[in-house]
Homo-oligomer: A and B are copies of this chain.
Amino acid sequence: MAEQDTTSALAPRLADSIRDKLISGELKPGQRLSEAALSTDLDVSRNSLREAFRLLTKEGLLRHEPNRGVFVATPSMASIIDIYRIRKIIECQALAKAYPKHPAVARMRGAVESARKASENSDWAAVGSQNMVFHASIVDLADSQRLSGFYAQIAAELRLSFGLLANPELLHAPYVEMNFAILETLEAGRAEEAAAALETYLAQSERTVLAAFGRL
């Protein structure tokens, strides 16, 4: 990997590191994160670690219980519904009003192509990642830094939910070609139509995820 960036502050780097472990599933929902244990583990002081905890708590990835510690957030049906509600509002609007030659369209295309290759290799984790890139790029169409940042946050939270679910193929594979269709429609200048397709997509995806979640 690349050498760590010592220029930036420690706490955000710690938060990045922990976030990766959360998304990768190394840290499991509900698990308690001991300040003492983690601080010696990561070789940082308790104070620095606590600063990182605050950031992740604000992102919704950790839950803080006073005098008891921080825990990995436990996804629920309610949180999944909440997040999909937001996705429908933000992604569909961003797409509906998009300029077909926006720079983010290139990123959408790149994500679709990468997802196809990963799909051929049955690398479902990569398919999932590229799928996320595709949708983040849709939000980028709205040209709002803050909105993109917010979306990145709820996307991370959603990935936490995905981590709980078995069968990643079922969760991601069917959507590669739907993404492609949406992209084509957008580039053809029919943004409204693409947005309608995306809404259908999201509704279907939500049903799948909730069903899988209900099976736990």
Contact = CB atoms under 8 A, between A and B. Distances in A.
Interface of A: 7-9, 11, 47, 50-51, 54-55, 58, 60, 64, 66, 82-83, 85-86, 89-90, 92-94, 142-147, 150, 154
Contacts of A11: 54
Secondary structure of the A contact surface, majority rule: helix
B54 A147 contact: no
Contacts of A47: 47
B66 A145 contact: no
Contacts of A50: 51
Contact of A85 (B9, B51, B66, B142): B142
Contacts of A93: 89, 92-93
A89 B147 contact: yes
A11 to B, nearest CB: 7
A83 B146 contact: yes
A147 B151 CA distance: 10
Contact of A58 (B8, B9, B55, B154): B55
Contacts of A143: 85
A85 B83 CA distance: 20
A105 to B, nearest CB: 18
A66 B147 contact: no
A55 B55 CA distance: 7
Task: State the 9 A-B residue pairs at the shortest beta-carbon distance, nearest first.
Answer: A89-B93, A85-B144, A82-B144, A150-B150, A86-B147, A86-B144, A58-B58, A82-B146, A51-B54
Contact of A66 (B8, B60, B83, B150): B8
B142 A146 contact: no
